[in-house]
């Protein structure tokens, strides 16, 4: 079956850098109190989402948990729209109504941004169910953390996905911690990938600090799913450099552990590979990095000057206007929004 | 018009919508090979095949969520809960995912899904199987909730629900599946708007506001009250959300006295909201304080005599009517 054109690796490196610079800038803006709520950064995990996206088509479905800025950026949502969402602005990818944990971009097949741990895995089952129902060869990429694998919704969804042979790649981004709880303290398995075995879903372990390994493994899996719809599970081993969210100093792990992973940094690694092969010069790298920094700085400016959704439109996004043919609109009474607004 | 059962009416609605739109599918426990726990989906597997009538394992959260995901990418799922008491293990999908998606995505993803199944206390099923979930779900912005009381309303509301582009809950009345009523013939399209109450009986002395299983009770009581020269108007809400305020206010403006009889529990129940809106908007029309008749505020007992004591009944309703009429 058709594999997508191999994506240019220097471009993929640029995407990883954009994600990192975006997250660093988000961190700074959070501290400056320009961003509210919870904010979870992806720094250290860039090769996972970029490797996976490099292996699929633009029309494949992507859905993830709340550590989602990178997934939108990797899908091509602009840094402007992402930063504006963090700022709660109307120009944000969810109009400022979703926030950090709820990034959506329909046109790029990015189906969120879901903040209830494990709750989006059944949604992924539904998206893949729809592909199969319509006999499309789309694949659904469902990302989740190691913390999700003990949740009921995850187990129910895995059984349904396996039972109905749905075209989903279940991607566990194992960064070793769910907030402050290490996998060892949460999970009765030697390795996470064994969860898949219980549902007869083939599983593999992938080095998430190695872009090429992620991409190649995913490409192989996706190719086989397109031929014949079925699920697959990958445990991608990675690490987040920052705390769980902005408010977490991550005192539950050692500096040494963090240093060990930093030395294996996915961006440094791909850069070294490309440099060694003569595909990238230091000059070119600096240029890419400069561009990434400028892009996110411009995104901050864009977000700052963007308008907020006007108060008058507060009720516009609760119900979609739904006119059912044959039901007289004159008779159908005011919407719940109207009644709430008028009588409260 | 012809007389059919509530169950048949729902079955016709499902068949007609499945026939009309290939994006519609029915999924739930025992809906296909078993023909439905309450036989609402009788014959649908045979007619539409296993691609569209889909049995699931006992995984309410899983298949409710599957429905929401399928709706995000353009299908129109009908998800059957064997009863809405079991929807509570899918609460997160029904309340957190289905109605929030449209807002959280800034209007990019509406969720055209129908959740349906029996709701409300049946007969001696005990506390876990007797939930009236309407006030719980009506509290979630983004959901629509309807509660048909007759075969005609069941058919018309379910068909509209399937065509609505928002998540809609069709709370069927477990005790009414075998009840009969007049319904338009199948070749006449029957759609009943969500958010439109119906006056099931005209009257002038008191408005009895009811829905679902309490409509029959209210109609029976109204007939009895006639002998005592009390003329009761029966307003069937049909939809809990959106709520047809106009119909309620029109009736109250006519009778000036109100009893609300509801199948749920009193605390934060549907009647509390209706009551609030009446006094807030047309307080001057009231000649007496509003009285509510609901379940007692206890988990449902199994014991038959105690269960009867918990539920609204004719004696309680008559007493309430007499109270507001100072009779
Ligand atoms: C159902 C639910 N319970 C608890 C939380 C609070 N919470 C948010 S993130 C998180 C840890 C999840 O960790 P993991 O799935 O490994 O993802 P990671 O943070 O590593 O990306 C917890 C407990 C939640 N959002 N949802």
B-facing residues of A in 315-334 (CB < 8 A) are 316-322, 324-328, 331-334
Look-up of token digits 């961190």: A27
- In this predicted structure, the answer to whether residue A230 has a pLDDT above a threshold of 50 is yes
> Mean pLDDT throughout B301-312?
98
Residue A334 in this model has a pLDDT that exceeds 60: no
**A1 pLDDT tier (thresholds 50, 70, 90):** very low
State the average pLDDT for chain B: 97
Contact status, residue A213 vs residue A220, Cβ threshold 8 Å: no
Domains in chain B: boundaries: 2-183, 198-324
The CATH architecture of the domain made up of B2-183 is 3-Layer(aba) Sandwich (3.40)
At A329 the pLDDT is: 55
Report the complex ipTM. 0.96
**Domain assignments of chain A as residue spans, ordered by start:** 9-309, 312-344
Task: Confirm whether B2-183 and B198-324 share one CATH topology.
Answer: yes
The whole-angstrom separation of Cα A248 and Cα A263 is 22
Domain B198-324, CATH: 3.40.50.920
**How do strand B232-236 and strand B206-210 relate by DSSP bridges?**
parallel
Q: Closest residue of A to B167, CA-based?
A: A319
pLDDT in tens, B248-265: 999 999 999 999 999 999
Picking from B3, B9, B2, B4, the residue whose alpha carbon sits closest to that of residue B172 is: B9
| Predicted pLDDT at B320 | 98
Please state the atom number of ligand 1 nearest to the C-alpha of residue A178: 13
Give the model confidence (pLDDT) of B52-111 as tens digits.
Answer: 999 999 999 999 999 999 999 999 999 999 999 999 999 999 999 999 999 999 999 999
Residue pair A153/B61 in contact (Cβ under 8 Å)? The answer is yes
> DSSP per residue over B241-310, as a string?
ES--HHHHHHHHHHH--EEEE-SS-STT-HHHHHHHHHHHHHGGG-SS--EEE---SSPPPSSHHHHHHH
CATH number of A9-309: 3.40.50.970
Name the residue among A61, A128, A156 with its Cβ closest to that of B62.
A156
B327 confidence band (pLDDT: 50, 70, 90): confident
Q: Please state, rounded to an integer, the average pLDDT across all residues of chain A.
A: 94
pLDDT of residue B174: 87
pLDDT on residue A330:
44
pTM, 2 dp:
0.96
* pLDDT of res. A162: 98
pLDDT value at residue A340: 54
Catalytic residue among B16, B17, B60, B307: B60
pLDDT tens for each residue of B117-173: 999 999 999 999 999 999 999 999 999 999 999 999 999 999 999 999 999 999 999
Asked whether the predicted pLDDT for residue B210 surpasses 80, the reply is yes
Distance from CA of B316 to the nearest CA of A (A): 30
Q: What percent of chain A has pLDDT over 90?
A: 91
Distance CA A261, CA A244 (A): 16
**B45 C-alpha to center of ligand 1: Å?**
40
Are the beta carbons of B264 and B300 closer than 8 angstroms?
no
What percentage of chain B exceeds 70 in pLDDT?
100
- pLDDT of A253-289, one tens digit each? 999 999 999 999 999 999 999 999 999 999 999 999 9
How far, in Å, from the CA of A117 to the mean position of ligand 1? 5
Q: What is the largest CA-CA distance in chain A?
A: 72
Q: How far is the CA of A236 from the centre of ligand 1 (A)?
A: 17
The predicted pLDDT at position A3 comes to 55
Q: Tell me which of A332 and A175 has the higher pLDDT.
A: A175
pLDDT attached to residue A180: 95
> Which of A126, A131, A317 shows the shortest C-beta gap to B107?
A317
B191/A344: higher pLDDT = B191
A115 in ligand 1 pocket by Cβ < 6 Å? Answer: yes
Which pair of structure tokens corresponds to residue B101?
């998606």
**How many A from CA of A147 to the centre of ligand 1?**
6
Which of A99, A147, A182, A250 to probe ligand 1 with, by most ligand atoms within 8 A of CB? A147
Nearest partner of B93 among B108, B111, B105, B75, judged by Cα = B111
Q: Is the pLDDT of residue B18 over 70?
A: yes
Q: What integer pLDDT is reported at residue A6 of this predicted model?
A: 74
Nearest-neighbour CA in chain A from B225: distance (Å): 31
Are B153 and B198 a contacting pair, CB within 8 Å?
yes
Show Cβ contacts of residue A226 under 8 Å, excluding neighbours closer than 6 positions: A1, A2, A137, A139, A167
Asked if the C-beta of A78 comes within 8 angstroms of chain B's C-beta atoms, the answer is no
């Amino acid at each position: 079956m058709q594999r997508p054109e191999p994506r240019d690796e220097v471009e993929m490196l640029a995407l990883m850098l954009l994600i990192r610079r975006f997250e660093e800038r988000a961190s700074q803006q959070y501290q400056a109190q320009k961003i509210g709520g919870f904010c979870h950064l992806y720094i250290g995990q860039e090769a996972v989402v970029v490797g996976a996206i490099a292996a699929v088509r633009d029309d494949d479905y992507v859905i993830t948990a709340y550590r989602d800025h990178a997934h939108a950026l990797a899908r091509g949502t602009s840094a402007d729209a992402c930063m504006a969402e963090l700022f709660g602005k109307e120009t944000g990818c969810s109009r400022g109504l979703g926030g950090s944990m709820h990034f959506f971009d329909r046109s790029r097949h990015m189906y969120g941004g879901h903040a209830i741990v494990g709750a989006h895995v059944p949604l992924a089952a539904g998206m893949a169910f729809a592909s199969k129902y319509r006999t499309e060869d789309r694949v659904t990429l469902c990302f989740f953390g190691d913390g999700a694998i003990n949740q009921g919704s995850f187990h129910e969804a895995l059984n349904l996905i396996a039972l109905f042979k749905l075209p989903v790649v279940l991607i566990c981004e194992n960064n070793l911690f769910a907030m402050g709880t290490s996998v060892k303290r949460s999970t009765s398995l030697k390795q996470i990938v064994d969860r898949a075995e219980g549902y007869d879903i083939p599983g593999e372990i992938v080095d998430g600090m190695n872009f090429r390994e992620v991409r190649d493994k995913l490409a192989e899996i996706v190719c086989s799913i397109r031929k014949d719809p079925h699920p697959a599970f990958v445990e991608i081993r990675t690490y987040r450099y920052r705390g769980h969210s902005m408010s977490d100093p991550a005192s539950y792990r050692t500096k040494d552990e963090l240093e060990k992973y930093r030395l294996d940094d996915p961006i440094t690694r791909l850069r070294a590979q490309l440099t060694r092969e003569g595909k990238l010069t230091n000059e070119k790298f600096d240029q890419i990095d400069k561009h990434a920094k400028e892009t996110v700085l411009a995104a901050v400016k864009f977000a700052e000057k963007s308008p907020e959704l006007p108060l008058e439109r507060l009720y516009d996004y609760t119900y979609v206007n739904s006119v059912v043919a044959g039901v007289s609109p004159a008779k159908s009474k005011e919407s719940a929004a109207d009644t709430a607004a008028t009588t409260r | 018009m012809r007389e059919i059962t509530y169950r048949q009416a729902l079955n016709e609605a499902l068949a007609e919508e499945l026939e009309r739109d290939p994006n519609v599918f029915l999924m739930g426990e025992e809906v296909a090979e078993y023909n439905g726990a309450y036989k609402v989906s009788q014959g649908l597997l045979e007619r539409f095949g296993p691609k569209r009538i889909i049995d699931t394992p006992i995984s309410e959260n899983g298949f409710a969520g599957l429905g929401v995901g399928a709706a995000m990418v353009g299908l129109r799922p009908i998800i059957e809960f064997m009863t809405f008491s079991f929807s509570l293990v899918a609460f997160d999908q029904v309340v957190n995912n289905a109605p929030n998606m449209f807002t959280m995505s800034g209007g990019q993803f509406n969720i055209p899904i129908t959740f349906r199944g029996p709701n409300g206390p049946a007969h001696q099923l005990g506390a876990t199987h007797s939930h009236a979930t309407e006030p719980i779900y009506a509290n979630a912005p983004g959901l629509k909730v309807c509660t048909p009381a007759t075969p005609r309303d069941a058919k018309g509301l379910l068909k509209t629900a399937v065509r609505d582009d928002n998540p809609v809950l069709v709370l069927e009345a477990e005790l009414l599946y075998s009840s009969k009523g007049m319904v338009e013939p199948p070749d006449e399209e029957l759609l009943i708007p969500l958010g439109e109450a119906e006056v099931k009986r005209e009257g002038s002395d008191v408005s009895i506001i009811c829905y679902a299983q309490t409509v029959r009770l209210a109609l029976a009581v109204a007939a009895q009250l006639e002998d005592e020269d009390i003329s009761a108007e029966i307003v069937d809400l049909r939809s809990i959300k959106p709520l047809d305020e106009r119909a309620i206010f029109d009736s109250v403006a006519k009778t000036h006295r109100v009893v609300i009889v509801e199948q749920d529990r009193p605390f934060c129940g549907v009647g509390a909201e209706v009551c609030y809106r009446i006094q807030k908007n047309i307080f001057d029309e009231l000649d007496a304080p509003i009285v509510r008749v609901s379940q007692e505020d206890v988990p449902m007992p199994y014991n038959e005599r105690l269960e009867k004591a918990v539920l609204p009944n004719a004696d309680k309703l008559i007493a309430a009517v007499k109270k507001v009429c100072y009779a």
